[in-house]
Structure 1
């Protein structure tokens, strides 16, 4: 039975939020502003979101339906959406407005949830576990709470799919739990859930020519004070990078028994082993 926010047809609609992130091996930090300087590195789709997209495409291949990707960011974030189209998404929406800038996880989740509500229907939302530039894992569950739908986090495997529910394995606190979610629902997936496919050249070419819908503040009909920097209750006051600790090497020479005894005394002093007198 189709309920509120459910697809009107027999096949499910799967929504995947996609974020464009900087290459974290190259990016630099703006210590004064407490932010990542995204201009210092090439941008790419968030790796965890590629796992989410792959799971959505697998869902579509098994049951039919539609995959919609949504990204919030500047105009250049369009490239991440084109990549999603090349990987199997059917429709891509960019949320781009100066008012959305500087958003924390709450303001980001709020903006995405409003955009998802604006869709005619949705059945399942699949998010990456986290983003490599934020590493909080908060946005997916926050979207679910704002939409008032059930969610399962840290999903490492999908065991059953049908047009009304999904059964998953969720890894939490060192244990694996099996959960079944009725639609509409949301899951966040880890990198263990699947191996994202590599798009073919013909799919990349098709994606370059595809239409990317763009929605701004007026399209979402939301108060500017609730989104972006203005709507963010949290901020980074200071960034501190822990200093690297160099390993200290020691060589114990001499007769084997004596050298071993000295080694054990050293380990005992460092509390690596006990009772080495």
Structure 2
């Protein structure tokens, strides 16, 4: 006769309960009432940390913290396409893979849906930036992992990928930057956190109040928008206003990205100079020894 523990395990098999069942579904109006409304509209970026060349095992990489949101991007070396795939065209193909860490969000049930939509938006934003004619019949693979999502995950991923492309030496037309702004009940939230984004996303489109999220990726030097991702119910004039605000924030982020990349190049040139000085001194010593 099997022990009692074994019989209980057979009679009551373990079952997985979705984590979403433990999340309290509050009324949107109650959630909105608890939010801290901005007293004044400030078109500034969040506290930002950016490190280029974070991974040594890939061609190019970058790690970015935008507030509490953390993103890692890596660029694989371009690989040649098969003869059958070459029939698509002469331009290089860009593929984007975006994954969420299991601990990145409170509700894991939404991960697969977010990964699919964000990977498509990321591809649309990056394709116009990359000089695809530089690697015809080749495929460039971009991988992104969201380590922590406290809002602005898509725009942070775009910014991180832009820095990683420069680190990989991939030819681009300009530096790409992106930002997120949303609106709900006549209140505009710049760089919204995960609570605000989740609130706006759960509202039905039949609601009479304006609500929605706008993510804009742009190239400052050529004055071009590569991607404008909009979700929710917003009037055309509101979308225009929110887009203008995101472009202003993009300019602030661009200054940060430029500074980090400039510092990276400067450090690399200094290291190369040190190495060249050592090699030159060794050559001088060898020449002295040979002459003696």
TM-score (norm 2): 0.22
The structure with the greater share of residues assigned to helix is 2
TM-score (norm 1): 0.23
Query: Whose Rg is larger?
Result: 2
